[in-house]
Structure 1
Amino acid sequence: MKKIIALLLIATFSSSSCEKDDICDANTPTTPRLVIEFYNISDSSILKNVTNLKVIGEGMTEGIVFNPSATGEAQYLVNGSSISIPLKTDVDTTTYSFILNSGNPNPTLIDIDKVTFNYTRNDVFVSRACGFKTLFVFSPTNAIVHTSVPATKLKWMQYISVEKSNIDNENETHIKVFF
């Protein structure tokens, strides 16, 4: 009889043990995206909206989705003065094509600038549920390489300024683009 009671107690305690949930809270900071703001080249204190900007990563065929609720080409276009884009977490460089006036029926009005971001990475442990996040620091000597496509065309981004070298959150502007 004592053996049966002991087995029941052991079974009860082992099945009622609590274990912490391994769910990453949506509010937990993860790998930050690069925050870029666009400014008027004539007055550097005034934000300027881009028109139908499409951003495509090197080697990719589709652009970054800025409007997930849109369909077709509209999901890749942004009209505004600020964007957030991801950097690669497995290499120390990321290249994007920034296409201004994407989809315009007049090809002479479409401007493409290619920008390469150079940085170092630091993987930081967040938690068992969330894993690691990657923080970035721009290279002090050549943080940005900027070219136009084709190379004979003028760059629509006239000046690019690194405002914050450490990319550790999305609450501040890292890059300012003047056009």
Structure 2
Amino acid sequence: MKKIIALLLITFGFLGCEKDDICDAATVTTPKLVIHFYDSTTNLSKNVVNLKVIADGMSEGVVFNSSLTTDEKYLANGVSSIKIPLKTTADATKYTLIYNFGSSNASTVFTDILTFNYTRKNEYISRACGYKTIFDLNNSAGLSKAVILNNLETNTTGNWIDGITIKKYNITSENETHIDIYF
């Protein structure tokens, strides 16, 4: 009888255990906005040169290369696409994009400001990972334009940006381009 009680206690003890709640690194979480760059004259994919992207209210740029320890980690260089985060606590995110940042020739440094307007929806992933936020760029009458260039909804070109095309309004993953920028 004592052995049965001991066996039952051990069994119930193991049944009370639960798996560790660890969010797998491969789990898709809140996606970033994917921007692809194109040559405005040939419509071919084009690499950016020393592009620094700074969120409104921040002094440091978005980190594009975390393996670097110098300020170069803030520069997108020799790539034709970037991924930038959108605010999960607001319906708009504003970025300053500085092309050819740090050039000794000031006449070759160009700055444009992009404001992304969107709605947010929290989506449950799991108990370990919690929620992720998915975004929908504004695409309805009565809402602010999805992408505003240099603080004016009517702008179609900027200081270095010649055009913007929205490829996908729903931002649910980083596996697809959401916005094309021509320069």
Is TM-score (shorter-chain normalized) higher than 0.5?
A: yes
Q: State the AA in 2 paired with 1:49.
A: N
Task: Figure out how many residues of one structure are paired with residues of the other and give that number.
Answer: 171
1:164 pairs with one of 140, 149, 168: 168
Cα distance between partner residues in 2 of 1:24 and 1:175:
29
Q: Report what 2:123 is aligned to.
A: 124
Partner residue in 2 for 1:173: 177
Shift of residue 6, structure 1, vs aligned partner: 5.3
Letter in 2 for 1:28: T
Q: Which amino acid aligns with 1:146?
A: L
Deviations 1:144-171 (A, max 9, x none): 11018xxxxx520110111111111111
Query: Once the 2 structures are TM-superposed, how far is the Cα of residue 106 of structure 1 from its aligned partner?
Result: 2.0
Q: CA offsets, 1:85-135, max 9 Å, x none?
A: 110111100000101111112222211110000000111111111111111
- Aligned pairs (5 A) from 1:137-148: 137-140=136-139, 141=141, 142-147=145-150
Q: Which runs of 5+ in 1 are unaligned?
A: 149-153
Q: Give the structure 2 partner of residue 13 of structure 1.
A: 11
Q: Indicate the RMSD between aligned Cα atoms, in angstroms.
A: 1.6
Shift of 1:13: 2.0
- 1:65 maps to which residue? 63
Match of 1:134 in 2: 133
Give the deviation of 1:60 after TM superposition.
Answer: 0.6
> Aligned residue for 1:78?
76
Normalised to the residue count of structure 1, the TM-score between the two structures is: 0.89
State the Cα deviation string for residues 60-95 of structure 1 (Å, max 9, x = none): 111111011112111101111000111011110000
Q: Helix, strand or coil for the counterpart of 2:49?
A: strand
User: Does the residue aligned with 1:36 lie in a helix, a strand or coil?
Assistant: strand
Identity over aligned pairs, percent: 48
CA distance in structure 2 between the partners assigned to 1:77 and 1:174 by the alignment = 21
TM-score normalised according to structure 2 size:
0.88
- Residue in 2 that maps onto 1:114: 113
Whole-Å separation in 2 of the counterparts to 1:105 and 1:121: 41
Deviation at residue 7 of structure 1 after TM alignment = 4.8
Aligned to 2:150, the other structure's residue is in SS state: strand
- For 2:14, the aligned partner's letter is S
- The CA distance in 2 between the partners of 1:12 and 1:34, in whole Å, is 51
How many Å apart are 1:20 and its aligned residue?
2.3
Question: For residues 177 and 105 of structure 2, what CA distance do their matches in structure 1 show?
Answer: 32
**Secondary structure of 2:73 counterpart:** helix
| Counterpart residue number, 1:53 | 51
